[in-house]
Amino acid sequence: MCWFFKKKKKNTNNVSQTPKEVITSKEKVEVESKETIKPEDKPAESKQFIMPKSTEKTVKNDHVVKQEPTKTVESSSGEKPIKPIPSVNKTQNKPSSKAYQGKYEVFQEAGSYKYRLKASNGEVLAVSLRYTTEKGAFTGIETFKKNVENGVFEVYTDKSGFSQYHLYTANKARVIMVGEFYPNEKQAESAVESVKKFFNTERIDTIAKLPDDEVREELVEYETIAEVATGKYEIYSEEKAFLIRLKANNAQVLFVSQGYSSKASAKQGLETIKTAIGEKRFTVSRDKQNRYQFNLYSATNQLILTGETYPVKSSCISAINSVRKFGLKAKVVEL
């Protein structure tokens, strides 16, 4: 955005006149010219008009061309010469084509490849899911772009009151992106608008090694857990979708799945969830609010579900252990 400041006019009424002398026509022109030209626009001794600093140069075809000085010309009829009008830089008011020049960065983290989208000020707007290869991460960027335009954004708020956006395919069959957590729903919605501004950038950088303080996801070190059959899976409908939630024996909700289009697909999804739990395909992620959340992936690195958020990593690890404890033998209830 360009800002223009209007110069304060200077007093030009105190110009000295030639005292009581016969003034020729030519001298009269010069005297009258002095009365109308601002002090900063006075011609130099060579009688050449000097362009003001703000318009001293003009741009043509991306090359700087020196402005030719304009001479003061005396009218043959004896009239006052017309004050030259400074040329205007035509590119001055054009909107910048680089208003939203973000970038993507491809890097390795937690044993896989990822990409992230950054705004022009360096803020991280989105961090991708996991890819087996670097090529997969580059392909994922194109998939992400298509779904920002045609997919479905939804804002989810967890039981702690923190909100994040989820980006799905147009038919909501797959999660494409899980956003950062924000203190409220309004900020999560604002993050969606920022993604829409910057997602279409063509710039992609590759990072050889992510700085330690920027690591957002890590693998889990597992401990031995005794599985029990006192947990419960509930399959229920909400807003024209079917969901699955796992409850511990004290009725605490350990996770809620993504939505499925039918009860049959929800039951099939439950088997995929149980397989991933048995294979211990968990990771722990940390967002810019320094809250922790567990992720559960399929064998093909597709995100199956995410857990609640926790203020410390140990609480997140404890939640993973509870899912492992109750998730394989829990009974299934259809609501």
Measure the CA–CA gap between 189 and 85, rounded to whole angstroms.
Answer: 49
Q: Residue 289 is which amino acid?
A: Q
Range 198-207 average pLDDT: 94
Min mean pLDDT across 65-69, 190-194, 277-281 is at 65-69
User: Dihedral of CA 147/148/151/157: which sign?
Assistant: positive
- Confidence grade of residue 158 (pLDDT, cut at 50, 70, 90): confident
Range 207-234 average pLDDT: 92
Between strands 232-238 and 331-334, the pairing is parallel
First to last CA, the chain: 56
* Geometric angle at alpha carbon 225, from 220 and 229, rounded to 5°: 125
pLDDT of residue 180: 85
Task: Tell whether the model's pLDDT for residue 309 goes beyond 80.
Answer: yes
Residue pair 65/56 in contact (Cβ under 8 Å)? The answer is: no
Q: Which fold has domain 217-334?
A: PH-domain like (2.30.29)
Task: Tell whether the model's pLDDT for residue 52 goes beyond 80.
Answer: no
- Is the entire prediction scored with pTM above 0.85? no
Measure the CA–CA gap between 309 and 161, rounded to whole angstroms.
Answer: 10
Tokens of 28: 């009269």
Measure the CA–CA gap between 243 and 223, rounded to whole angstroms.
Answer: 29
CATH code that applies to domain 103-214: 2.30.29.80
- Residue 282: φ, ψ to 5°: -100, 150
Residue pair 101/120 in contact (Cβ under 8 Å)? The answer is: yes
Task: Tell whether the model's pLDDT for residue 220 goes beyond 90.
Answer: yes
Contacts of 114 (CB under 8 A, 6+ apart): 106, 107, 108, 127, 128, 129, 130, 131, 137, 217
Which position has the token pair 């050889």? 208
Range 7-13 average pLDDT: 42
Q: What secondary structure letter does DSSP report for 72? A: P
Q: Show me where the domains of the chain are located.
A: 103-214, 217-334
Q: What secondary structure letter does DSSP report for 90? A: T
Same fold: 103-214 with 217-334: yes
pLDDT of residue 213: 85
Residue pair 42/35 in contact (Cβ under 8 Å)? The answer is: no
Residue pair 170/261 in contact (Cβ under 8 Å)? The answer is: no
